A = this chain, B = another copy of it.
Amino acid sequence: MATHQKPLHQLDAWQAAEALARRDIQSVDLVRACLDRIDQRDAEVHAFVRLNADAALALARTLDAGPVRGLLHGLPFGVKDLLDTADLPTAYGSPIYAGQQPLADAAAVALCREAGAVLLGKTVSTELANMTSGITRNPHNLQHSPGGSSSGSAAAVADCMLPLALGTQTAGSLIRPAAFCGIVGYKPSHNRVSRAGVKSLSETLDTIGGFGRSVRDVGLLGAVLTGDKRLADPQNFDSSAIAAPRIALCATPDWSLADEDSQQAWKLADKALAGYVQQVALPAELHGLVARQKAVQAFETARSLRHEHRHHAQQLSAPLLALLEEGMCIDGETHAHNLQAVAHQRHVAAELFRNHDVLLAPSTVGEAPAGLATTGDPLFCRGWTLLGLPCIHLPFTRGRKGLPVGLQLVGRFADDHRLLAAAHWVHERLTR
C-alpha cells in the first residue's frame, strides 16, 4: 500500500492508522498536514468553531515518541460542538451556551483520546443539533448545504481537513450530511455508545456516531466507541474472505418522494449488486414510522429543552421555537402510546433480518439543497433512527448538479460488526 504517495491529509483514517502504528509516518506531520488544509480551506467551508492547534501538535509529538496507545494512535479527529470537551468550550451551536467550558470530556471524546486520537478542534453543529443551519458550507459546492446537524464534522472530513470526526443523529444528522458531503457516515445501534457529556434532546432517538472517508475508517471509530473489536477486525474487511451478505433492497413507503438523483443511484446499486439482492417491502406494522418519529422527536426535544424554551426564548431561532411549541402540544398520553408502539415496532424490525443480513435503503431525497436556508430533509433516516437500527451511508455516485449521492445500509440491532463488514463488501461493488 503506497500510502506515502498520497498527501498525508488525504489518507483514509485506517491507512493513516496503519502507517502511524508502523511508524512509517509521524502524527505530527499528519496533524500539520490537516492544519495546513484547514488553513487553506476553512475560511470558505467554515467547518470549525474552534481549533486546538498548539495542543494537538504537542500531543502528536508526545505520541510519536511513545508507545502505540490504541486503534486511533496519532489520528487527528474533530468533535461536533454538541459534545463536551474538557479543554475547549462547548456551545451546542447556540448563543445561550457561548463560551461554556465543561469540566469533563464527553464519554465518546474520552474514549477516542484514550485510543490515541488527537483532538484538532470542535466542529459546527446546527442550533442545538436541530434544523437551523450553522455557517458551514458544502465543500463540493460552497453554494450548497453540507446537511446537518453534524454539519462541520461531515464537511471537514469530506474536505480532507480531518480523517475522522464525531457527530450525533436524532432524525438524520449523521447519514444526511454524510450523503450531501459524499463520505461514509455511521450511526451505531441506539444506546450502544454512551451519551454522557452530550447535550440531550431525545432519549428514544439520540445516537453518537461519526464520519470517515471509507467503511474501514468508521469501523475504527466504531470499535473505540462501542468497545467491540470486531468493528475494526481486518478480516471483516477482506471481501474475498467473507461470505457475500444477503441484501434486502428496501425502498420504504416514502420512495415516491425520492428525486431523480436518488432513483438513479438506486438503479445503479440494483445493477451492481445483481444476484445478491432481493426486493422487500416493509411489513404493514412498520408503516407510519416517519410520522411517529416526528412526534417522538418533537415531544422529547420540547421537554429536554424546557429550560432554554422558558428562559432563553429570544435566543432560539423561529424554526426551533416552532418545533418546541409543537412538541409541547403533544400530550404525554399520546407519547406513552408512541413509546409502546416503538417497543413493538423494534421487535417487528428484528424479523426483517431473519432472511437478510442488511437492508439497502435511500439516504436522502436527492443531492444537497442549494443555499443554507435548509439542511435538507431527514425523511429517509427518520424510520431507521426510530427503530434504533445501525445505519451507514455509502457514497458512490453524483447527481445532476454534480453533488454526491449514495445509499444507506441498515443492520440488525447491535449487529454493527456485521453491518460494517457488509457495507465494505457492498461499497467495493458500488465503487468499482
Which A residues lie at the B interface, using CB under 8 A? 86, 96-97, 100, 103-107, 109-111, 114, 189, 191-197, 199-201, 203-204, 223, 226-230, 299-300, 303-308, 310-311, 331-333, 335-337, 339-340, 343, 346-347, 350, 413-417
Given the known inter-chain contacts A103-B100, A227-B332, A303-B111, please indicate yes or no for A201 contacting B196, CB distance below 8 A: yes
Copies of this chain present: 2
A contact patch SS: helix
Closest chain-B Cβ to A311's Cβ sits at a distance in Å of: 8
**A336 and B228 within 8 A (CB):** yes
**B307 and A107 within 8 A (CB):** yes
**B197 and A200 within 8 A (CB):** yes
Given the known inter-chain contacts A97-B103, A227-B332, please indicate yes or no for A194 contacting B300, CB distance below 8 A: yes
**B310 and A110 within 8 A (CB):** yes
**B304 and A107 within 8 A (CB):** yes
**A307 and B226 within 8 A (CB):** no
**B343 and A413 within 8 A (CB):** yes
**A228 and B335 within 8 A (CB):** yes
Contacts of A197 in B (CB 8 A): 200, 307
**A196 and B191 within 8 A (CB):** no
**A229 and B110 within 8 A (CB):** no
6 inter-chain pairs at a CB distance below 8 angstroms, sorted by A residue, are A107-B303, A107-B304, A191-B339, A336-B414, A336-B416, A343-B414
A390 to B149, CA, bound (A): 33
Contacts of A100 in B (CB 8 A): 103
**A332 and B103 within 8 A (CB):** no
**A227 and B191 within 8 A (CB):** no
**A413 and B340 within 8 A (CB):** yes
Of B223, B310, B339, B413, which is within 8 A of A413 by CB? B339
Contacts of A343 in B (CB 8 A): 346-347, 350, 413-414
Which residue from chain B places its CB closest to the CB of A205 in the assembled complex? Answer: B191
Given the known inter-chain contacts A303-B194, A346-B343, please indicate yes or no for A336 contacting B104, CB distance below 8 A: no
Given the known inter-chain contacts A310-B114, A331-B229, please indicate yes or no for A192 contacting B336, CB distance below 8 A: yes
